[in-house]
Amino acid sequence: MRSNLSFSFTRATPWCLCVLGALSGCQAVRTMPSADSLLGAITPYKVEVVQGNVITQEQAALVKPGMSRAQVRDILGSSLVADVFHADRWDYVFTIRRQGAVSQSRHIVALFSGDVLKSIDTGGELPTERDFVASIDTFKTARNAPPLELSEAQVKALPAPAKAAAPEAQQPVGPVRDYPPLEPRS
């Protein structure tokens, strides 16, 4: 009986070591620098997911109660959710998940009374167009774009444009023909 007990213990020892090794590996994964990276250097690819309509402060400011459905659609685009049970409600949902940028999610509701906009609920403050573009720009540190406008000093430092001489009358190229009149002279 004693020999059976020692046999099962020696047989179970490798399994116990494997389980303990696996559990100790779980602790190492939790203490890694980032949950998205493997060994701190390899980052798996994540698919960019963009759904819905981007609605900015500038667009929302153009939408006013009393506008028709067509006018609202021209400004905000078609709503993402069209519910047959709530025909007077348009839901604009926007989500974006982009690697290297913070995930964003917005929900905007436009309520109609017949064909006329009754109210719009933005669910909080919307970003401006410039702020939105800056929030999804993942090349902020790598890009050193030159300024698109000249300063006052740079404009003054530009050379004055050369005055163009008056264009000379150009002589016709090729043979000059004299055509007879279309009607006889009387």
Q: Where along the chain do its domains lie? A: 49-136
The better pLDDT of the pair 8, 175 is held by 175
List pLDDT tens digits, range 47-67: 888 888 889 999 999 999 999
Tokens matching residue 34: 């980032």
CA 135 from chain centre, in angstroms, equals 9
Distance CA 112, CA 76 (A): 14
Cβ-based neighbours of 106, under 8 Å, separated by 6 or more: 52, 55, 92, 93, 94, 95, 122, 123, 126
Return the ∠ at Cα 134 (arms to 145 and 154), rounded to 5°.
Answer: 35
Fold for 49-136, please state it.
Answer: Beta-lactamase Inhibitory Protein; Chain:B, domain 1 (3.30.1450)
Task: Output the CA torsion 91→97→102→106 (10° steps).
Answer: 0
Query: DSSP for 134-168?
Result: HHH-S-TTT--PPPSS--HHHHHHSPPPPPPPPPP
Distance CA 126, CA 132 (A): 9
pTM equals 0.52
DSSP state of 99: T
Least confident of 33-47, 59-73, 112-126, 147-161: 33-47
Distance CA 163, CA 174 (A): 31
List pLDDT tens digits, range 5-55: 455 556 667 776 667 666 665 544 444 455 555 566 677 777 888 888 889
Report the candidate in 74, 186, 56, 61 with the shortest Cα–Cα distance to residue 132.
56
